[in-house]
Amino acid sequence: MASTELNHHLRIQPYPYQVEGIKYGLEKRRLFIGDEPGLGKTLQSIGIVDTANAYPCLVICPSSLKINWQREFEKFTDKKALVLDNSTRTTWSYLLQMGMHHVAIVNYESLRKYFVWDIKGGKNFRLKDVVFCPQIKQFRSVIIDESHRVKDPSAQQTIFTKGICTGKDWVIMLSGTPVVNRPEDLVAQLSIMGRLNEFGGKSQFLAEYGEGENLSTLSQRLYSKCMIRREKAKVLTQLPPKTRCDLYVDISNREEYDLAANDLAEYLRTYKECTDHEIRRKMRMEALVKFMTLRSLSAKGKVKQAIDFVRVFLDSGKPLILFCSLHEIVDELKKAFPKAVSVTGRDSAVSKQAAVDSFQSGHSNLIICSIKAAGVGLTLTASSNVAFVELAWTYADCCQCEDRAHRIGQKDNVTCYYLLGRGTIDHALYKIIHKKKSIANEIMASSDDIPEDEQYFNELINEFLQPNLFQK
């Protein structure tokens, strides 16, 4: 694959490493493209489908990215893409069959609505219980964007995705973070690709890698069979660097926060002394709720300082990307900056895209983003400055958000500002997510929800109970 020559019909010439990715996909057909965010996984997957003429193609993606996928297909190829909605619920198959459109785009939450006729099992159904509409047979290829969304084998979206992909020659999974917490995250994704048996099946996979062992071997096998992954530093040497800046701020609700923190600390000490497994499990779930409450209190206490920071920053004339999670914090920020645009879970796909367009064109100098809704897939290179009012739970989520700006098209050094509440849980979280880039890095050789695995939880406890946490 050393050659960068590729006989394609794309409307642009891909970078050499993107050509390599397309050629790898043409060879493997069912694969992961695991490039770091910002390297153009979308273009590569489109290049594979278009060069192979593997139409009709189905794209499964987060809701916020549907319009972006439609634009990208129509920008890079001469094919028409259709976003599935209520107006095309009964006609999409006909439109594809007649060649009026070549690509259908659907979000994960709507798979059942468009492609499932019946489910014969009860609440905990399996794939064999699902009756799919026969029209899914016309798809020759499936692109699964942010494929870590289907890492849970028992989740409905995973089951539907697997059923749709069964028997397909072309299955392309895109994710800069296919392993979010542990190697087990790969099981469902490999199964959807029809490659799990190449790793000995589920039982053997978990026996060999489930405990976080033999990860270098797993990495080698993934690369040889079905994964390509490149790092920005190696393939985009012209891309400017990314730096992080920690800003410690005082919270406005100190008394309320300290009461909750002391309550949690006492609860965790009781948890650590408990020896009954079932009681510990229930206590752990309760503790997670308390952690989330504490995280929210810290975020709320930083709002005034965040508003001051944004005002000072915007006065410099530079645009800013601002990340947070809580609806009430978004509302406070939008109240303070009424001209700002937003990409949150409450915004429609159309309004999200309009916000991105407004920011990218320079009409808006502030975009307020939800970590969950805007942390993937979007290009926000109009700014080289990213600020976090709230922290994500994992390093992968932080990087995904940072890389909305640090990607192809960025010409300036990217600075990421983290507003950390002084003497709060922020210190514990920040230390964990940046101390080690998680088990994923070793596997890759390089969800806004709190990770539920016990190892992460215990590490969070240990950091939180450090005696100097409240002294920062």
Token digits of residue 99: 């060649």
Q: Is residue 367 within a helix (H) or strand (E), and if so which, with residue range?
A: strand 366-370
Angle at which helix 425-435 crosses helix 277-301, to 10 degrees, equals: 110
pLDDT of residue 101: 96
Residue 321 · residue 404 · CB < 8 Å: yes
pLDDT at 375: 66
List of E strands, 38-168 = 57-61, 81-83, 103-107, 116-119, 130-132, 141-145
Q: What is the pLDDT of residue 82?
A: 96
Residue 46 neighbours by CB distance under 10 Å: 27
Beta bridge partners of 367: 321, 341
Per-residue confidence (pLDDT) for residue 273, from 0 to 100 = 81
Tell me the range of 151-155, 157-161, 413-417 where mean pLDDT is highest. 157-161
Tell me the CB-side half-sphere exposure of residue 323, using CA atoms within 13 A. Answer: 28
Nearest-angstrom CA–CA distance, 130 and 120:
6
Tell which residue, 142, 174, 181, has the closest CA to residue 36: 174
pLDDT recorded at residue 433: 74
pLDDT by residue (tens digit) across 328-375? 999 999 999 999 999 998 888 889 989 999 999 999 999 999 988 776
Least confident of 204-213, 279-288, 437-446: 437-446
In the predicted structure, residue 152 carries a pLDDT above the cut 80 = yes
Q: Is the pLDDT of residue 379 over 60?
A: yes
Q: Angle between the 16-28 and 41-52 helix axes, to the nearest 10 degrees?
A: 50
% of the chain at pLDDT higher than 70:
92
Residue 274 pLDDT greater than 60, yes or no:
yes
CA nearest to 48, candidates 79, 68, 77, 22: 22
Give the pLDDT score at 121. 75
Domains located in the chain, CATH noted: 16-235 (3.40.50.10810), 242-471 (3.40.50.300)
Which range (104-113, 155-164, 308-317, 463-472) has the least confidence?
Answer: 463-472
Q: What DSSP designation does 241 have?
A: P
Per residue, the 3-state secondary structure of 151-207, as one string, reads CCCCCHHHHHHHHHHCCCCEEEEECCCCCCCCCCHHHHHHHHCCCHHHHCHHHHHHH
Half-sphere exposure of 293 (CA within 13 A, CB side): 15
Q: What is the mean pLDDT of residues 250-262?
A: 93
Is a pLDDT exceeding 70 seen at residue 297? yes
Closest CA to 367 of 300, 310, 304: 310
Helix or strand run (H / E) with residue 249: strand 242-249
Residue 298 in contact with residue 251, Cβ under 8 Å? yes
Nearest Cα to Cα of residue 83 among 347, 345, 349: 349
- Predicted confidence at residue 437, as pLDDT, reads 55
Task: Give 445-459 pLDDT, tens digit per residue.
Answer: 554 355 555 666 777
Rounded CA-CA distance 380/9 in Å is 27
Q: CA 402, 404, 407, 412: dihedral to nearest 10 degrees?
A: -70
The whole-number pLDDT of residue 471 equals: 46
Q: Residue 4 pLDDT more than 70?
A: no
pLDDT at residue number 2: 43
- What rounded mean pLDDT belongs to the chain? 87
Residue 294 pLDDT greater than 50, yes or no? yes
| Residue 438 pLDDT exceeds 80 | no
Q: How many CA atoms lie within 13 A of 184 on its CB side?
A: 11
Rounded-to-integer distance, Cα 401 and Cα 388, Å: 9
DSSP annotation of 149 reads G
Q: Which range, 182-186, 227-231, 288-292, is most confident?
A: 227-231
- Please state, for a pLDDT cut of 90, what percent of the chain lies above it: 51
Does the pLDDT of residue 440 top 90, yes or no?
Answer: no
User: Is the omega angle on the peptide bond into residue 183 within 30 degrees of 0, that is, cis?
Assistant: no
Cβ–Cβ contacts within 10 Å for residue 144, how many? 26
Residue 399: band (very low, low, confident or very high) from pLDDT cuts 50, 70, 90: confident
Q: How far apart are CA 271 and CA 280, in angstroms?
A: 6
Residues 248, 254, 259, 260, CA torsion sign: negative
Looking at residue 166, its pLDDT comes to 96
> What sign does the CA torsion over 21, 27, 29, 32 have?
negative
The DSSP output letter for 344 is -
